[in-house]
Amino acid sequence: MTTAHSLPESTSQSPAPAAAAATPFRFRRLIFPLFSLILLLALWPVHSYHPADIDYLLGGIASNAYPRNLLGVLGASLAWFMLVTFGLASYPIVLLAVVCNCRRLFWRLGIRPLSWEYLCAFILFAFGGAMLLGIWQNAFSTITEALNIATIPGGVIGQRFCAPGQGWLRLLLNPTGSAIVAATMIAVALAVIWFFDWQLLVAPFLLEKLRSLKKRPEDLPASTSAPDQEPFPRPAPAPAP
């Protein structure tokens, strides 16, 4: 038999399990982190990416020694696609994706839910980085030759948009204007990512620091003695001769 006092206790304890079951771990959160990790391993320049793998994929090399990528044909194909499409910008793109995915997977404090603006920010960052590198074809020539993407440091996207003499944006703007547009794209993309991943966590700390800087300490009194008393006693007047 239940009493009147036992009913409120049972109803008050029931929302706790419901709240705990309302936020289960979803395995779809692992899709983007795993994909970012695969791209990082495929592009890793030490003991993974090999420049001759591109020639192997294009049919220029027929040997059982290739591909030399750590992830085999899959890794060689992904690395070839990223480097040919985005050029050297592939590395900051993948590193940014790894950092953002680790932030959302292991430390979810103060993050906003994903939306189409977040995904568009990554696309904007990728295009902006490739376009910025595509303005100067001879930039980082030693690195691009080692990666087998000589003369296209920004990949196909950088070449189509900002390459000298043939880039679509380059025909409308000079190199300075193209660099400003590409840098603006990168800045906007990073601002959107910061808004979704870090703004709720960092903004209160920054506001508190600004308030503490605005509060100036009160001026200390010139003397701790009473206002009617002189801080130092005057010497006695000399006796008259």
How far, in Å, CA of 226 to CA of 218, rounded? 19
Residue 6: pLDDT band with limits 50, 70, 90: very low
pLDDT, greater one: 10 or 126: 126
Domain residue ranges in the chain: 29-212
Q: Using one digit for the tens of pLDDT, what is the confidence trace for 151-163?
A: 899 999 999 999 8
- Whether pTM > 0.85 for this model: the answer is no
Q: Using one digit for the tens of pLDDT, what is the confidence trace for 20-55?
A: 344 555 666 788 888 889 999 999 887 788 888 887
Q: Using one digit for the tens of pLDDT, what is the confidence trace for 61-112?
A: 767 667 888 898 899 999 999 999 999 999 999 999 999 999 988 888 888 8
